[in-house]
Amino acid sequence: MDEVARAAGVSRQGLYLQFANKEELFRKALVHTLESQLNAVIAVLSRKQDTLEVRLIAACDEWSGRFVGMLGADAADLMCASTSLAGTTLSRYEAQFELAVAGAIAESPLAGFCTTAGLCPADLARTLHATARGLKQSSASRQEFVKGMTVAARMFCAPLKQHG
């Protein structure tokens, strides 16, 4: 809390006037970050002038790619702590991310190909999200993450290119 107060330019006591404890501070910071990410995702998915492929890559980059390479040596401890402190918050926002991606797919010509293949846009969104999570953990750089997401999005959008 001392480090956070110092970084915020307030006293530790001042920080405690805003947040009851470090757990509350963590939860509020998490919600703020997730809200910011989700808003960025919605903004890139709304850019109708871009192809669906470009929008899907950008959405996954905004959701997961921005964190590639940011976690240091204490990442495992942070991940364990964040899971217990975050409760259902993270899963709620992840579901909203998938809904936003599924909505973009449903509004595109790819929706027809999903139906033909016996899939729904939510299936594709869930799979893209799982791919993004895996690439976030395995990519050495954000550039590598985007390259992997480009492959995934291109595979999903291939039917659009095949049929004009």
* 17 domain-assigned: no
pTM for this structure?
0.84
Report, in angstroms and rounded to the nearest whole number, the Rg of the chain calculated over CA atoms: 19
Q: Is 109 a member of any domain? A: yes
Number of C-beta neighbours around residue 111 at 10 A: 17
Q: Give the model's pLDDT for residue 119.
A: 93
Mean pLDDT by 10 residues, the chain (164 residues): 80 82 85 93 97 96 87 52 72 95 95 90 96 92 96 90 64
Domain CATH number, residue 67: 1.10.357
Instruction: State the Cα–Cα distance between residues 45 and 30, nearest whole angstrom.
Output: 22
Domain count, the chain: 1
Give, to the nearest 10 degrees, the angle between helix 89-106 and helix 22-45: 0
Show the domain range for 74: 22-162
pLDDT on residue 84: 67
Residue 73 placed within a domain:
yes
Residues 140 and 72 sit within 8 Å (Cβ to Cβ): no
User: Which of 97, 83, 158 minimizes the C-alpha distance to 126?
Assistant: 97
pLDDT at 139: 92
Residue 79 lies in a domain: yes
